[in-house]
Chains A and B, each alone.
Chain A
């Protein structure tokens, strides 16, 4: 089959969500709607201490007075927050020692996703805190981590067992009142992951969490808190897939990273929430606040591969508070059909000799809109701050859009800032060239997109890079006959 642009477009349109299925896991769900009583009920359900309940209520009262932001380059019907159920947990809340005890439906689900726990356990050496519908159901490799003094558990467990750490750091990087979605999350977060790496410890394995949305009409409000104590190192992986759905699903997560002096946190995400069908129906609304703070000589590196969601609103950021600290952001965002993404980063330079790097790759196909929005801010105290930003966009067909909104605010004359941007299109001539070498159109697109994304893919841990590459292919290729 030879290639024309029209055919490419058709192909892209016919791509269906591969992981579109719904597992019948028995769940316990709260009635829809949100008020103080619901917030209290969530807190009670989780048997939280009083300070936590009050923290949530404070966030809730702030949220009520806030407005949903309308500055992003996104068009969507605002969710009705009273139509959402704010808590859902698998009924058989398990206390598991082995995989045999996990709900067989759940195992089936994971097998469909190709991320069976057995395989993960055996082959990859990745410890996983599996979050299905907000409550952790299985955690592996706990013992290995325990030996090193590393704490890796659900945030609910952390609130129970490590309240001092949670209380000290929760909401310090993303304050409760930071923004509309962060406030909402602070009030109603159901679960999430917690990780603490003690002083001087290099975490011996990649920490990984898989998130899934699995209950009709249930919003997910994950809360993640990662603390790397002085001179420690951790690489944290987060990956998501979600089942196919008709109505929109809301996801408003908050991730906070704290890198104390000389620590390093590498946070990688592969996001594949259901993007909606080819007519733009359904799909996940993803409003995420991710931010890290760097103390002296520490480093935070965000790497993300975003292929899913109907709407993505996400700006993993670094506050470079410490002197000589480093922030990095590597991103690939792929949009197809009617997907819309407004994503980027913020690099806030406060300390002296702080450095940041931003590499953003956007791939747009179908009728999708893909925006990069980034802020580089150099405060008056940030002497000799440096930033390098590169934003590349790749377009497929004539109906999609790529946008770049860079904001640069410099208040110190010693700063050095570089910004590069390119926009290109996958050409028929490139496809024909590949075809002539015996490479079919589907494979050619994968090759070109992977080439375009290479700088970012290279930043992912090995086992994730392969998965990410597969996702890029799934996201952009149709089932070509």
Chain B
């Protein structure tokens, strides 16, 4: 699904990623952990095609196609979804209107007609109830005045609606209380299947109690320094990252 080889990238001239290698197969859930400033969010942005991040070396293959050079919207049309760490507000644009526009723009790129309203509404209701979102919420302006939990739930709702092949979740667990965390995690688990892949970026392993990853990678100073299974996340939770630092040097 996603194959990243020796990826180097910089922002405003400053190198952040210094040779990332990562391979995610169909049906797999991967988690990336790492201390602050290690390059986790940068990786999420680079995969989605944010222009501030300049790729200087290496390659990103998505579905066996080099996507470096594609615009963010083209990547989205290909099936890349990013759940934002800080979702933005768009006043006056309702959640429903936004998701409708997003879905129809993707359909348009594939030469499909707009989704009929009745079908769209049915899908919205189904996915909203999965994430325990009430209809009131759907007619509010996108992210405006939303609590931290509502914002993240809205991200996962959009993911469920768009049914991407690769979902990158950038610190989706931050700012969530335990109940909201469970709802969000449940949304991800329901979405995950043999045909798609999930990349979870997180500081804490608590989300991984609910979404069990097949692989866990630790990024430090722009490189993957250690890969393992879910036990690696548990060890980090217990002892932190220092032991890896020594390992690395």
Contact = CB atoms under 8 A, between A and B. Distances in A.
Contacts of B191: none
What does DSSP make chain A's interface, helix, strand, loop or mixed? helix
Contacts of B158: 437
Contacts, number: 80
Interface in B73-104: 73, 75-77, 81-82, 84, 87-93, 97-98, 101-102
Nearest to A454: B92
A450 to B, nearest CB: 7
B49 interface: yes
B162 interface: yes
B50 interface: yes
Contact of A451 (B50, B82, B90, B162): B90
B102 A427 contact: no
Nearest to A424: B91
A2 B91 contact: no
A421 interface: no
Of all A-B residue pairs in the complex, the 10 with the closest CB atoms, nearest first, are A451-B92, A451-B93, A438-B76, A435-B72, A2-B51, A437-B102, A454-B92, A438-B106, A1-B71, A433-B88
A72 to B, nearest CB: 29
B139 interface: no
Interface of B: 48-51, 71-73, 75-77, 81-82, 84, 87-93, 97-98, 101-102, 105-106, 109, 141-142, 158, 162
Given A438-B106, A447-B98, A433 B71 contact: no
A177 interface: no
Interface of A: 1-4, 427, 429-430, 432-440, 443, 447-448, 450-455
A453 B71 contact: no
23 contacts: A1-B71, A2-B49, A4-B51, A432-B50, A432-B72, A433-B88, A433-B90, A434-B90, A435-B76, A436-B73, A436-B75, A436-B76, A437-B105, A438-B76, A438-B102, A439-B73, A439-B102, A440-B71, A447-B93, A447-B98, A450-B92, A451-B90, A452-B92
B72 to A, nearest CB: 4
B92 A455 contact: yes
Contacts of A432: 50, 72
Contacts of B141: 451
A2 to B, nearest CB: 4
A433 B72 CA distance: 9
B240 to A, nearest CB: 32
A58 to B, nearest CB: 48
Contacts of A438: 73, 76-77, 102, 105-106, 109, 162
A453 B84 CA distance: 26
A435 B88 CA distance: 12
Contacts of B102: 434, 437-439
A149 to B, nearest CB: 41
A430 B81 CA distance: 16
B72 A430 contact: no
Contacts of B93: 447-448, 450-451
A453 B93 CA distance: 10
Given A451-B91, A451-B93, A435 B101 contact: no
B92 A435 contact: no
A429 B90 CA distance: 11
B90 A430 contact: yes
B105 A436 contact: no
A181 to B, nearest CB: 34
Contacts of A455: 92
Contact of A435 (B71, B81, B91, B162): B71
A436 B164 CA distance: 12
B90 A447 contact: yes
A2 B71 contact: yes
